[in-house]
Structures are given as C-alpha cells and as structure tokens.
Chains A and B, each alone.
Chain A
Amino acid sequence: MTTTISETSIGEARGLSNKKNPKKRIKRTTWAAIGFASPLIVYLLIFYVAPLIQNISMSFHRFSRRTFVTGDAPFAGLDIYKEVLSSPEFWTTLKQTLIFVIVSIVFQYGLGLALAVFFKQNFRLNGFLRGVFLVPWLIPPMISGTTWQWMMDADSGVFNKFLGMFGMDPVWWLQADHALWAVIIANIWLGIPFNLVILYSGLQNINGDLYEAASLDGASSWQQFWKITFPLLKPVTLITLLLGFVYTLKTVDIIWIMTMGVGTSQTLATWSYAMAFGKGYSSTIKYSEASVVGTVLIVIALIFAFIYLWAQRKEEEDL
C-alpha cells in the first residue's frame, strides 16, 4: 500500500515534472533561439531594412537640402516617380545602363569561361598565371580607374599609341559619345577575375571520368565542351550571371573615376549618385529623384533575382 502510494506519488510527481519541464524547456530554448537570432535580426533591420524603407520613403517625399534638415519634406505621392519616369533623360540613361550591363556581362562571362577552361589543363606556371589574372580584382578601383583614364587619354594614352602603330587614327576614348564603350572595356577587364574564379571552381566539380569516356567515344574537345562542360556548369553559370548582373548594375566607382558619368557613360547608378550628392553638373541635391532611381535599380535587380530563382527551380525539376 505504502509502496503503491509512494509509487503513485512518485508517478504523480513525475507526471507533474514531465508536464512542467517540457513547457519550461520549450520556453527556454525559444528564448535562446531569440537571443541567438537577435543580433542577426537587429543587424538586418538597421543595415538593410531601415535604409531600404528610408530610400522608399524619400522617393515619396519632395526633399530639398532645407527640408532634409528640418525634416518636413511634403508628401508627394507618386509625383516624383512620374516626373523621373517621364523625363527623356531617364530612358536614355536606362538604355545606356542596359548596354553597359549586358555587354559587360557577356564579355566578362565569355572571357572568364574561356580562361577557366584554359587553366583547367595542367601546365607549368598555371597557378602563377591564374594569380596574375586576379590582379584587377585586387587593385583598388580608385587606382585602376585612374590608370584606365591615363591609358585612354586621347593625346598621350597607350591605347592610341598602340593604334598608331597600325596606322590607325587616334580615338578620343573618353569623349561624351564614346565614353560608354570606354567604361565598358574597363569594366570587362575588372569583371573577368570574378567570373574566372567562380567558373574555375565549378569546373573542378565536374567528374573527370566523363571526359575520359567521351574521348573514348571519339568526342572532339569542342564537343566535350558543349556536351559536358557547358551543361554541367549551368548552375554555376546561373549564379555567376546573377551576381555579375547585380554588381555591374550598381557600378559607380570605375565610371565616376574615368568620366564622371559624362555623356553616354551615365548609368542609373552614377546618375543617382550625382543627384543625391550634388556631384554632377549641378550642386543642387535631389534626394527624392535619386531615391526614385535607386528604387528602380532595386526593382530591376529583384526581377533578375526572381528570374534566377525560377531558372534554378527549373534546373532542379529537370534533374
């Protein structure tokens, strides 16, 4: 009897403690989870969400230097969007931006891939030469931009000296009409290392047996590339293109250092920068207009991110 009582009481006690403890445990672990997640959440809020909201809010209010200080910029709704989107300058700049981004990426990717395939073969100095190709990535854009500006100098730059050796007329590279192509060339050079590194590591993951089997079947190296390398590299290609797209879309430094975004080299990013800080022709700051352009840039980047996600999902489904 006593034993049963004591057993039941123990059982009850256990039951109680079993009921109590899990509750406590969940609570504790939840707290722990919140505690661990909070630095990240707060970080995201302060450095990602708040600036984003601020940017969007600024694009809906008509800011001037004065109202920026006093903080009573009048609400303008979509008016500033309408103004910016209806200005011819926006559409010219958008066109230039797309040319800049697409041409840059096509060449960065193409040359990066060619180099990655090249470096996949084992030969002497392979590591060293690959290292040399990373140099554009390591040099601060301030220095590489200035160097490109010198090299493209119309009167004494090495580019024109080189053309002169073949009897060609010198080109005024940084002139307003040519400036877009000048900055594209510099930007391609700048982006090759990034493409090379990612694609090269992608190549490392392709099973060597496939090539062996293919060559036994008599596939030429050209066929091997198109039937093995390129398809198996597709996931890596997708992420390279997406990252390259986003990087190139928001490029300001190299363009600004070379041309200050003059003429055709004005992209949405440099335009937005010039308006936000009064750095272009005019020292008038246009926070609101700059924010509108900033928002447009975010939307374009998001569209491409979704295209990437869609392509990735499709890829997984196919597998």
Chain B
Amino acid sequence: MSYSKGRILLAAGTALAMTLGLGACGGSSQSSANDKEIDFWDPYPQHTSGSDWDNFVKKCAPEGYTIKRQGLPQNDVLNNLTTSVKEDNAPDVVILDNPFMPTAVDAGLVTDITKNGVSSEGFDENIIGPGIVDGVEYGVPFGSNALGLYYNPEILKKAGVDPSSIKDWDSLNAAIKKVVDSGNKGIVFSGIKGEEGVFQYLPWFWGAGGNLKNVDSAAMTDANNLLSSWIKNGWAPKSVTTDNQSASWDKFLTGEYGFAENGSWWWPSAKDKGYEMVAIPSKDGGIAPVATGGEFMTLPYHKTENADKAKASAAVINCLISDDTLLKTNDTLGYLAGKKTVRDEQVANDETLKPWADVVSRAQGRTTDVGLDYEDISSQLSQGEQTALNEQ
C-alpha cells in the first residue's frame, strides 16, 4: 500500500515537474545568448546554406565573430522582425524589402545606420531614397533590380514584329495584336493583389504621368484600361489576377507568349533561353520609370543594447557594400549595383546588362516622396487594379 502511495506521489511529482519545465520553456525566449554570433536575416531562402551567397555573407564576419544566416520568405521578414524586436530577440542585420522601410522606421524596428558607421557614400540617390526617412538613413541597398519587357524573339519574328518599334503604348498594343494574330499568346504579367502586383503596376501608372500623391487620377484610369483591355481582348491570360511574378514567369517559360513584364532577377536564365528585353514604354513614348526593386540592409533595434555587437554588425554591412566586394555582391544575387561606377563595371563585363542599367538609372523609389503614406497608396492602387482586371 505504501509502495503504491509512493508511486502515486512519484508520478504526480513527475507530472508536476514536467509542467513546470514546460512553463520554463515558455519564459526563456531571451535574446541570442551568443555575443559573438551575428544573426543575419535575408529574404533569399533560395540561396541555401553552402550556396555562393551564403559563403559570401559568412566571409564578411569581422574578426572574432561568426555569422548565422537565415533566409526567410520575402513576405515574412517584416512581420517576423516586428515580433522579434518586441520580444527583444531581434537579429543583428536584416535585409528588408525597400517599400517597407518607412513602416519599419515608424514602428521603431530599425536604427540609424550612420551611427554605427555604415556609409552609403557614392550610391545613386534614387536607389538609396527609400532608406532615408525624415532625413535619417536607416538602411542601405547593395543594388537594385528592375522591371523590363521580356520578349520571345522567335515568336516576334514569326509575327513580323520588330521589338525596336515598341516606343509607346500604341506601338506595344499593335505588337501584341500581331503576336496574337499570328497564333501565339500575347503577354503575361503579375496582377496579384498586394505589393507584388503594385510593383508591376507602377511602370504603367507612372508611364501615364501618374503621381503617388494623387492616386485617383486619369493616369490610374489609363493604366487600368490598358491592362484590363489585354485581358478582355484575350491577349493576357485571366490568371494574371492571381499570378505572382514567379507564376507569371513560369507561363512565359512555356515559350507560348510573346511578351512578359518581369524582373531583372530572371535575366541570367532568360539569356540562356534566348529571350531578350526592351524597356517598358510610357504612354506617349519614352522609357517608363519603374520602381526601384531590391532590399535594404538594416540594423534592427534591440531593447537590450550591445554596442560592440552593433559595431560588428555594421562592419558586416560595410563589407558587403565596400567597393571591392560590391560588384561580387550584385553579381552573386543577380542585382544591378547601387553605385553607378560599379554598375558601369558590370555592364563592361556583360554587355547585355546595358538596357537593365538604363532602367535602373531612371527608377523611382516607391516611398521616397510619400513615406509612410505609401501603405495606403499601394492598397488603393492594388484595389483599383484588381477591380479593373476582374471586369468581364
């Protein structure tokens, strides 16, 4: 009897201890214990551990430090950063998509990078623009990507379209029509709801003379009409309303489409397939401004400060953007450098990058002029576009 009683107590005690252990687990989410390990987040999960980019980043660890790199899906970086700053276990360097910069600054997630000695001297103004909020520099990009109008030369040849004839919206429409009339499919783009769709929408909006400070305008109507007419005419697939840029690119890779609006990050694979690119035309002629793409390197805010580690983290950023490595950084990621001198070097090494470099030089920051208001502006543009694309 006493034996079984003892067993009951023992079992109960074990159960209680387990419970307490569980409770303890919940409370132990403090900041990274290792002072010599720099937590590095980027939105490039496709570059897995051991890849060129991974090795490249890790080589930038200052003496005595190691870098622990983590690739997160692009859409999750901001929300994960928000939670981690709140819980005081924020990473030490975060690469954040550029339109989110004002949001991150407003929420107090990132800090002034110049304080720890990061310098963006020599970078193009249009490219570093989104990282400067109220005159303070919160992030630096190593480069930018941009949107262009890819085309399939075989299909255009068959349709009798000369790509250099595409100078404005009318000539673009005429070209797409010829392609469709010759029995091929016209154009693919990404009209998905949210920021990704807006990124692809802006060249048309800006190309029609649109201004982010005044969204509800003739330019919005023009851009909406252009894109929705492609669907109504059967030139673009109806799935553009739900396709993201990857899905849209997959459609273009089938080789059935004449044109695709997509990003410079596909250029290496596009070149292999023999695809070429022209700049996106604006409504009445000339190259339409595209939005600067790409991400900013930031130093997140830590409730518990560690000055040495912040300095070391800043050194990692400086390493990735220093003149010697900037070229390699951009080549590794397939970006165009944020410094004109380095970009020229990239073009000198690879002539085919020339049209992309031209587009990047003209690109505009989404948040540079409107700051935090961009969240609402983007949402309005997205709703307007979705409504237009869903018309039957």
Q: Which residues of A contact B (CB under 8 A)?
A: 28-29, 31-36, 38-39, 42-43, 46, 64-66, 68-71, 149, 153-156, 172, 174-177, 258-260, 262-263, 277-285
* B195 partner residues in chain A, CB cutoff 8 A: 283
In the complex, A260 Cα to B24 Cα: how many Å? Answer: 38
In the complex, A153 Cα to B5 Cα: how many Å? Answer: 67
* B26 partner residues in chain A, CB cutoff 8 A: 46
| B237 contacts A154, C-beta separation under 8 Å | yes
| B8 contacts A29, C-beta separation under 8 Å | yes
| B193 contacts A32, C-beta separation under 8 Å | no
Nearest chain A CB to B237's CB is how many angstroms away? 5
| A38 contacts B19, C-beta separation under 8 Å | yes
Q: Indicate with 1 or 0, residue by residue over B223-257, a CB within 8 angstroms of chain A CB atoms.
A: 00000000000000111011000000000000000
* A34 partner residues in chain B, CB cutoff 8 A: 12, 16
| A66 contacts B108, C-beta separation under 8 Å | yes
Closest to A277 in B: B79
Contacts A155-B238, A283-B375: A38 and B16 contacting too (C-beta < 8 A)?
A: yes
Knowing that A174-B239, A260-B194, A282-B379 touch, tell me 18 more A-B residue pairs with CB under 8 angstroms: A28-B8, A28-B9, A31-B12, A32-B11, A35-B9, A38-B15, A46-B22, A69-B85, A70-B108, A153-B238, A156-B237, A260-B193, A260-B242, A282-B376, A283-B194, A283-B195, A283-B375, A283-B379
Nearest chain A CB to B33's CB is how many angstroms away? 22
Nearest chain A CB to B63's CB is how many angstroms away? 33
Nearest chain B CB to A179's CB is how many angstroms away? 9
A-B contact pairs, 24 of them (CB 8 A): A32-B12, A34-B12, A34-B16, A35-B9, A35-B12, A36-B11, A38-B15, A38-B19, A39-B22, A42-B22, A42-B23, A43-B22, A46-B22, A46-B23, A66-B106, A69-B86, A154-B237, A155-B239, A174-B239, A262-B193, A278-B79, A283-B99, A283-B375, A283-B379
Nearest chain B CB to A74's CB is how many angstroms away? 16
One of B152-160, B287-295, B343-351, B382-390 at the interface: B382-390
Contacts A32-B8, A282-B379, A284-B375: A68 and B82 contacting too (C-beta < 8 A)?
A: yes
In the complex, A262 Cα to B75 Cα: how many Å? Answer: 18
In the complex, A172 Cα to B64 Cα: how many Å? Answer: 60
Nearest chain A CB to B240's CB is how many angstroms away? 10
Closest to A173 in B: B238
Pick the contact of B386 from A31, A65, A262 — CB < 8 Å?
A262
Contacts A35-B11, A42-B22: A262 and B241 contacting too (C-beta < 8 A)?
A: yes
Does any Cβ of A come within 8 Å of B164's Cβ?
A: no
| A280 contacts B193, C-beta separation under 8 Å | yes
* B239 partner residues in chain A, CB cutoff 8 A: 153-155, 174
In the complex, A149 Cα to B237 Cα: how many Å? Answer: 14
Pick the contact of B15 from A39, A64, A70, A284 — CB < 8 Å?
A39
In the complex, A174 Cα to B78 Cα: how many Å? Answer: 29
In the complex, A155 Cα to B239 Cα: how many Å? Answer: 8
Closest to A38 in B: B19
* B382 partner residues in chain A, CB cutoff 8 A: 281-282
| B383 contacts A281, C-beta separation under 8 Å | yes
Closest to B106 in A: A66
* A33 partner residues in chain B, CB cutoff 8 A: 12
The 6 closest A-B pairs by CB, nearest first: A35-B12, A282-B379, A154-B238, A65-B107, A176-B390, A32-B12
Pick the contact of B108 from A69, A278, A284 — CB < 8 Å?
A69
| A69 contacts B376, C-beta separation under 8 Å | no
Closest to A258 in B: B242
Nearest chain A CB to B102's CB is how many angstroms away? 11
Q: Indicate with 1 or 0, residue by residue over B1-25, a CB within 8 angstroms of chain A CB atoms.
A: 0000100110111011011001100
Does any Cβ of A come within 8 Å of B359's Cβ?
A: no
| B15 contacts A36, C-beta separation under 8 Å | yes
* B13 partner residues in chain A, CB cutoff 8 A: 35
In the complex, A177 Cα to B387 Cα: how many Å? Answer: 10
Pick the contact of B193 from A64, A71, A281 — CB < 8 Å?
A281
* A35 partner residues in chain B, CB cutoff 8 A: 9, 11-13, 15-16
| A175 contacts B12, C-beta separation under 8 Å | no
Does any Cβ of A come within 8 Å of B89's Cβ?
A: no
| A65 contacts B106, C-beta separation under 8 Å | yes
Closest to B385 in A: A281
| B383 contacts A262, C-beta separation under 8 Å | no
Closest to A260 in B: B193
* A278 partner residues in chain B, CB cutoff 8 A: 78-79
In the complex, A177 Cα to B22 Cα: how many Å? Answer: 48
Contacts A66-B108, A70-B108, A153-B239: A283 and B100 contacting too (C-beta < 8 A)?
A: yes
* B16 partner residues in chain A, CB cutoff 8 A: 34-35, 38
In the complex, A284 Cα to B380 Cα: how many Å? Answer: 12
Closest to B384 in A: A281
Pick the contact of A65 from B99, B103, B192, B376 — CB < 8 Å?
B103
| A263 contacts B9, C-beta separation under 8 Å | no
* A277 partner residues in chain B, CB cutoff 8 A: 79
* A43 partner residues in chain B, CB cutoff 8 A: 22
In the complex, A259 Cα to B241 Cα: how many Å? Answer: 9
Does any Cβ of A come within 8 Å of B378's Cβ?
A: yes
Closest to B18 in A: A39
In the complex, A216 Cα to B259 Cα: how many Å? Answer: 73
Closest to B87 in A: A69
Nearest chain A CB to B269's CB is how many angstroms away? 22
Closest to B105 in A: A66
Within 8 A of A (CB), among B46-87: 75, 78-79, 82, 85-86
| B242 contacts A262, C-beta separation under 8 Å | yes
* B38 partner residues in chain A, CB cutoff 8 A: none
| B193 contacts A175, C-beta separation under 8 Å | no
Nearest chain B CB to A1's CB is how many angstroms away? 35
* A39 partner residues in chain B, CB cutoff 8 A: 15, 18-19, 22
Closest to A31 in B: B12
